[in-house]
């Protein structure tokens, strides 16, 4: 029996954002697409980072409580979609249109090749405290796997 791999689980319709997008546009984009984050690309379409609602709220609030703290596992249990409605996120004080995605994104890109096993994907997500992992084929973005996708496997098995 073949083990499930990243290609079996990934969503191949990856929504990306541009690094020059204003964060007010980002808030609208994420909430209207009902996603919590997205890969960031530059003018050449090259991946340059990842941005999430956590980044957006941290930027707007200046609150250190929203800054990732690997020593505080409670941070990773937070569900911002419960804490903030889409309307509240769109109405955060977002520094006008002067701040861009490039200024608030995480420049680290966590990716696996499409033949990585689901176990390898889950291990990476746990070790790095990630909610999403990008899936690549020969260095090109072909999909995304979220923590919800992994949880979906448990529901199907149950």
Structure confidence by residue, pLDDT tens digits, 7-45 = 999 999 999 999 999 988 998 899 899 898 999 999 999
Structure confidence by residue, pLDDT tens digits, 103-142 = 999 999 999 999 999 999 999 999 999 989 999 999 889 9
Contact 7, 17 (CB under 8 A): no
What is the number of structural domains in the chain?
1
For residue 150, the domain's CATH number is: 3.10.580.10
Structure confidence by residue, pLDDT tens digits, 54-104 = 888 888 766 544 444 444 444 444 444 444 555 555 555 555 557 899 999
DSSP string of 76-111?
HH--HHHHS-HHHHHTS---TTT-BHHHHSB----E
Q: Is residue 1 part of a domain?
A: no
Domain extent at residue 111: 6-157
Q: Is residue 122 part of a domain?
A: yes
For position 89, what pLDDT does the model report?
54
Q: Is residue 61 part of a domain?
A: yes
Q: Is residue 100 part of a domain?
A: yes
């Amino acid at each position: 029996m073949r083990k499930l791999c990243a290609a079996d689980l990934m969503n191949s319709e990856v929504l990306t954002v541009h690094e020059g997008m204003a964060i007010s546009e980002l808030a609208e984009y994420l909430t209207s697409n009902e996603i919590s984050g997205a890969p960031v690309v530059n003018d050449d379409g090259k991946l340059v980072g990842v941005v999430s609602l956590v980044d957006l709220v941290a930027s707007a609030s200046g609150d250190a409580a929203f800054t990732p703290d690997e020593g505080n596992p409670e941070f990773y249990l937070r569900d911002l979609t419960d804490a903030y409605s889409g309307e509240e996120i769109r109405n955060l004080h977002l520094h006008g249109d002067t701040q861009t995605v490039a200024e608030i994104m995480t420049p680290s890109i966590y990716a696996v090749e499409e033949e990585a096993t689901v176990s390898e994907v889950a291990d990476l997500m746990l070790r790095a405290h990630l909610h999403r992992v990008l899936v690549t084929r020969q260095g090109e973005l072909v999909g995304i796997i979220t923590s919800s996708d992994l949880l979906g496997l448990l529901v199907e098995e149950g």
